[in-house]
Structure 1
Amino acid sequence: MGNTIGLNNKNRNNIKPLSMSNTLTAIFLEALVLSGSMTANTNREKELIIWLAQRDQEVVGIGTVGFDIDELPWTTESFIAEKQFLLKALDNAISGFEWSKLSYEPNNVMVIRRLDHFKKMIIEFEVNDVDEQQYLDWIENNDQDETPTIPRGYPKCENHNILLSCHGCLICNNEY
């Protein structure tokens, strides 16, 4: 099994979907969420990282966290800023930013290769690919649920300083 991240139904510039083992997916997400949590300033930026943190296989199930780029909670109004933020977070993750907070030494080559592939997908993604209904569906029940989709106040983990999702800390959940 494993997980696949796709650009969308348009295979621009022959960018193939990103396929990863379950373990590599967890490391990929931890590196990106670490970087994004340290880079996010606006609520929209924090929401993008929280959405990624919710792809927590320890909670939702191994091999079930693949997605297409258009499923991210993009908005057309802030698309350019959201895309620039994700690219900055990816650049930081590729540079190993905050990896010292992990309890293990990731295989740099494998993780960086996947982060770079994901970056190429984000670069190719365009505003006319945005499906704002994804964002609306994601936040729809935020104020009605006992455990909101987006934790109120955008709290961070005391141990790892990453944004918490409705599942808690992505890194704490994966530590054994």
Structure 2
Amino acid sequence: MGNTISMPRKFEHLVEPLGMSNGLTSVFMEVLAISGSILAKTNREKELIIWLAQRDQSVVGIGTVGFEIEEMPWTIDSFEREKDFILHTISGAIDGLGWERLSYEPRKDWVIECLEHFHLMINAFDKESINMNSYLEWSEIEEDDDRPTIPRGYPKCEKHDIYLSCHFCILCNNGS
């Protein structure tokens, strides 16, 4: 089954979709969540990492966390800073930033290859392709929601020091 991360149609000729097995997808999301949690300073940066951490297959289901780059919660006003932050997060993950928090030794060559491909995708993505509805729908707080999509105050896992999503800690959920 696996998961696919893809570009908007107008970019498909530039960068092909990134397909990963379910296991590789889990490692990919975990190392991005770790790197981004170390690097995030602003609330927007924290939100981008929380969005990625919500792609937790152990909670939402195997093979269900693929996405299109325009579905990420980009904002038009801060797009360039957000894009720079995601590129910096990917570079940190490629460099192994925080990988010691994992309870296993990932297959580095496979993960790095996927991270490099993702870096190309983010680098090619442009402001004109943002779907603002993605951010608005994702960030909306419903009155009766006791676990909001974006946890209030941006709490971190006490054990792993990464941002919690509405599914809690992606590393704890996966047994790290």
Same fold (TM over 0.5): yes
Whether 1:43 aligns to 2:43 is: yes
**Corresponding letter in the other structure for 1:157:** C
TM-score (normalizing by structure 2): 0.97
2:111 alignment partner in structure 1: 111
Equivalence for 2:56: 56
Alignment of 1:17-166 (within 5 A): 17-141=17-141, 144-166=144-166
Unaligned runs of 5+ in 2: none
| 1:14 aligned residue | 14
SS for the counterpart of 1:19 is: strand
Can you list the C-alpha shifts for 1:79-123, whole angstroms capped at 9, x where unaligned? Answer: 000000001001100000000010001111000000000000000
Give structure 1 regions of 4+ aligned residues with deviation exceeding 2 angstroms. 11-14, 141-144
User: Structure 1: any 5+ residue segments left out of the alignment?
Assistant: none
| Aligned residues: CA RMSD | 1.2
Maintained 8 Å contact 1:31/1:99: yes
**C-alpha separation in 2, matches of 1:89 and 1:57:** 21
Q: 1:141: how far off?
A: 2.5
Q: Sequence identity of aligned pairs in percent?
A: 56
- TM-score, normalised to structure 1, is 0.97
State the alpha-carbon separation in 2 of the partners of residues 46 and 7 from structure 1. 23
Aligned counterparts of 1:142 and 1:70: Cα–Cα separation in 2: 23
2:165 partner letter: S
Partner SS, residue 5 of structure 2: strand
Residue 7 of structure 1: CA displacement? Answer: 1.3
